[in-house]
Structure 1
Amino acid sequence: MSTSPVPPPGCPAHHAGPDAAGPGGIRRLYGPEADADPKALYEKLRAEHGPVAPVLVHGDLPAWLVLGYRENLEVARTPSRFARDPRTWRDMAQGKVPPDHPLGPMVVWWPVVNFTDGPVHERLREAVMDSLQGFDRRGIRRYVTRFTHQLVDSFAGAGHADLVAEFSSLLPTLVMTQLIGAPEEAGPRMARAALDMVNGTETALESDQYVTSALQQLVAAKAERPGRDITSWLLAHQAGLAHEEVLAHVRVILIAAVQTTANLIANTLRMVLTDQRFRANLSGGHMTLPDALEQVLWDRPPINTVLGRWATGDTVLGGQQIRAGDMLLLGLAAGNVDPDPEIRPDLAAPVHGNRAHLAFSAGPHECPGQDIGRAIADTGIEVLLTRLPDLELAVPEDELVRQGSLMFQQLEALPVTFSPRSPRPQEEDSAEPEQPASAPLPPAARVPAPRVESAPVAGVPAPTPDRPWWRRMFGAR
């Protein structure tokens, strides 16, 4: 009896190739077709299999992609049937996931909130939620406003910019560096490595090692000299997290926040610049920026697919026989466009005020940092549009290119033009943002940058003294 969606006998179970279909005709969630247009692939799978489809991930490992809205909620809300602990993955237990597998950093168990269930999960999630809420929205907004002005100043005089390379990819990094307490010269490099890791590139494992090493030193520094930051609050929390647990959670927060928020910002800006309904409504006051963000979270969420869940026993989902140890992927983007008329009667209609989307998942593992992501995107875009109200797309919309991976699909560039403007006076940004009054710890002392002995991450330029650290980090001139 087959125990997972694997090819029939006689077909090699783990042969990767460039074709859209793998062994047995099962479609791959990686490769040219999946990367170029994942939404089209999801609809093909839905037409062929219904709300739950057999797929292959890297290395032609079998998995189930959950496409239906209700089925996504069922998986997300019932950890007793679909656990978050990857140690229950049968292919992992059978040695079919090699140490250098591209998904390795995302499926190797850590003592972290998103890999646990039950009482352990509740303890860890409480610590994470309390630490994230140490910054109120007003305090985060000050950081976002400060960094947004700095970024806009860097290109305002040119009259043109790439809002991906020069804005959306940078802003979340700048803010999260401050929130986790990392020194400015170290944080962005950690974030760049984190993006490389979650995209499953050839250097993903090297990047994973870099991020882990740098954060180990950050946690050690904060244990000696705590500050008003997420790392310090996790260390001091009544849940009594060990240093290893704190490190793991800072790592998760950094990885989750940077890419998802960057995608949310870029996708919202693209919509504002290309959809005349949104541009007119925003300028006419009939649609708020949070409304536009909500529409994007429905139509193009920052994460396409969340990996993974693992079946704790034999069960049925969406008409498919799921076996114990099978991997499941939550298809958030696919679930948001479920054609069931009870989910979204009209896919083209606005969804103002409707937060029932799957962009942040659901259930006990719903994203705990979604309010921070919204605050960064909302405030950053608002300040950008205020500074540059005549932003226009510099190329036809059909020339915009997206770069895909199993979890994400992001814009490669968003070129714009606008009337050149002078930078703001430097003294307006000289003061540090006021810290939230609710922060329970004393102000942070400046700590030295982590000295990481591991090899440099591929593609990360070496430091040079002639450019700001964040421009060096991302290769901007």
Structure 2
Amino acid sequence: MRLPEADDPARLYEQLREQYGPVAPVLLHGDLPAWLVLGYRENLDVMRTPSLYSRDSRRWSAFQKGEVPADSPLMPTVGWQPLCVFTDGEEHARLRGAVVDGLAQFNRHGMRRYVTHYTHQLVQRFAASGKADLVRDYAEQLPMLVVSRLLGMAPDEGPALVEPTLDLMRGSETAAASNQTVTEVLHDLVRRKKTTPGNDLASRLIAHESTLSDTEIVEHLRLVLVAAHQNTVNLIAHTLRMLLTDSRFRGRLSGGRMTLPDALEQVMWDSPPIGVVPGRWATGNTVLGGQHIKTGDMLLLCIAAANVDPEQRPHLTVPMHGNRSHLALSAGPHECPGGDIGRAIADTGIDELMALLPDMRLTITEDELSTTSDWLARRPSALPVTFTPSRSALAGAARAEVTGAAQPLPEAAVSSHEKKPSSAPAAAKPRPWWKLFSRR
């Protein structure tokens, strides 16, 4: 069965599960065969057994037979690159170690100051109008503003990368060109940071003891930028949709029995930011989920289907907050090293947005909401809302806009043991965001 850009991928996955079991044969762009891993246990087996299921895409039989053209929309996501996600063993440990060390320099408190600043700045753009599309105007913008600065970019560079970064993950006909755009910006960044290093990921990778090549540095910056942006955009959009449409969720929240981190975990169970993760490649003939996998076959990890596997979750209505055994961040040696950064951006961003605009409401019904889907992910196409422009939102956002250019934000996100003491007053502790609902 062809793996389409389905309007209802969840239904497709269940049809495949019913017909084939936990592992199903599918066709990708260009009628290239692959296996879609639907079962929770089967996904864990693949994630935790790199000796059987390698991350090295050069093993793909379709590559070896010359069946994948250079301009294939699959190339930005499965074409081999000198990245930790395409390696195993010692080489994987070397490359991943540099990324983990680079991300470890950012503390969560500094991240929250970052996110708060940019949330106010974004709200300033639409606060006076009393309306916004929370996907286009907020969810797609915030993660890029934050992550691009962590990488070391100038404030004006991040916004221009929003669309090409989203596009290269869609598998569209323009994905290769978008990928090239992002890569060129990162090459320029590395050249600058070699002469003017700072407290950022690019500078840390350049100076890391793993002695990464320039190509390895650029590719890992691209990996972090694309993964952090795509995952966090989808996480924010799905969570905001839940807040705006699920009355039961609001009831539990206002009663104090669910925190925002709980809500984020529930979303990662029900609507993981990336629904399908390519890929793994079989190192030899094996059997998985009753299917005979041949050497060089590609496997796609269907996180969206695994998280709702009836064997794992027989009752989907039972809340899963507090349970982090979902596969949204993968597992095994290739588990996402930046999951906490994405959570921090989403948690603080939604918290601040709700504090600034507490009476947001959809301008259309839940049934009228549409979904954007591609072969890897899905999220709400738009979340049009109206709200009462509050005096605090306008004043706070305006201050963020005026002072933004002068703020030494990268320093604020660096771990306390790596930065100089600051005499600036500590930020006020935010109120629990769910209390906003109890005022309505």
- Whether the TM-score (by the shorter chain) exceeds 0.5 is yes
The aligned residue for residue 196 of structure 2 is 225
Superposition pairs of residues 23-102 of structure 1, within 5 angstroms = 27-30=1-4, 34-102=5-73
The aligned residue for residue 456 of structure 1 is none
The aligned residue for residue 435 of structure 2 is none
8 A contact 2:105–2:415 mirrored in 1: no
The aligned residue for residue 164 of structure 1 is 135
8 A contact 2:140–2:162 mirrored in 1: no
Gaps of at least 5 residues in structure 1 are 1-26, 444-477
From 351, 356, 380, the counterpart of 2:325: 356
Q: 2-side partners of 1:352 and 1:407: how far apart?
A: 24
- Classify the secondary structure of the residue corresponding to 1:202: coil
Give the CA RMSD over aligned residues.
1.5
Deviates more, 1:280-289 or 1:293-302: 280-289
The aligned residue for residue 451 of structure 1 is none
Q: 1-side partners of 2:92 and 2:415: how far apart?
A: 29
The aligned residue for residue 128 of structure 1 is 99
Q: 2-side partners of 1:191 and 1:226: how far apart?
A: 24
From 266, 291, 294, the counterpart of 2:237: 266
Distance 1:49 1:437, change over 3 A: closer
Q: How far is 1:442 from its partner?
A: 9.0
Q: How far is 1:159 from its partner?
A: 1.7
8 A contact 1:226–1:441 mirrored in 2: no
Superposition pairs of residues 307-318 of structure 1, within 5 angstroms = 307-318=278-289
Q: Given the alignment of the two structures, is residue 144 of structure 1 paired with residue 118 of structure 2, yes or no?
A: no
What's the CA shift string for 1:132-153, capped at 9, x where partnerless?
Answer: 1110101111100000111112
From 253, 278, 295, the counterpart of 2:249: 278
Q: 1-side partners of 2:267 and 2:306: how far apart?
A: 14
Q: 1-side partners of 2:400 and 2:32: how far apart?
A: 54
Q: 1-side partners of 2:17 and 2:386: how far apart?
A: 40
8 A contact 1:35–1:405 mirrored in 2: yes
The aligned residue for residue 471 of structure 1 is none
Query: Which is richer in helix?
Result: 2
The aligned residue for residue 383 of structure 1 is 352
- Classify the secondary structure of the residue corresponding to 2:6: helix
**What letter is aligned with 1:28?**
R
Distance 1:316 1:86, change over 3 A: same
Q: How far is 1:437 from its partner?
A: 4.4
**What letter is aligned with 1:338?**
D
Q: 1-side partners of 2:27 and 2:132: how far apart?
A: 39
Distance 1:70 1:435, change over 3 A: closer
Q: Given the alignment of the two structures, is residue 114 of structure 1 paired with residue 85 of structure 2, yes or no?
A: yes
What's the CA shift string for 1:205-234, capped at 9, x where partnerless?
Answer: 111111111111111111111111111111
Q: How far is 1:186 from its partner?
A: 1.9
Superposition pairs of residues 416-435 of structure 1, within 5 angstroms = 416-422=385-391, 423-425=394-396, 426-427=398-399, 430=403, 431-433=407-409, 434-435=412-413
**What letter is aligned with 2:77?**
M
**What letter is aligned with 2:334?**
H
- Classify the secondary structure of the residue corresponding to 1:424: helix
Distance 1:82 1:270, change over 3 A: same
8 A contact 1:400–1:414 mirrored in 2: yes
- Classify the secondary structure of the residue corresponding to 1:416: strand
- Classify the secondary structure of the residue corresponding to 1:185: coil
**What letter is aligned with 2:414?**
P
Q: 1-side partners of 2:242 and 2:178: how far apart?
A: 32
The aligned residue for residue 168 of structure 2 is 197
Gaps of at least 5 residues in structure 2 are 422-440
Q: 2-side partners of 1:436 and 1:97: how far apart?
A: 42
Q: How far is 1:61 from its partner?
A: 0.4
After TM superposition, the score normalised by the length of structure 2 is: 0.91
Q: 2-side partners of 1:397 and 1:311: how far apart?
A: 42
Q: 1-side partners of 2:90 and 2:162: how far apart?
A: 31
Q: How far is 1:243 from its partner?
A: 1.4
Query: What's the % identity of the aligned pairs?
Result: 56
Deviates more, 1:410-419 or 1:318-327: 410-419
Distance 1:354 1:204, change over 3 A: same
Q: How many residues matched?
A: 412
What's the CA shift string for 1:309-339, capped at 9, x where partnerless?
Answer: 0000000000000000000000000000001
Q: 1-side partners of 2:309 and 2:300: how far apart?
A: 16
Q: 1-side partners of 2:375 and 2:335: how far apart?
A: 20
After TM superposition, the score normalised by the length of structure 1 is: 0.84
Q: Given the alignment of the two structures, is residue 436 of structure 1 paired with residue 405 of structure 2, yes or no?
A: no
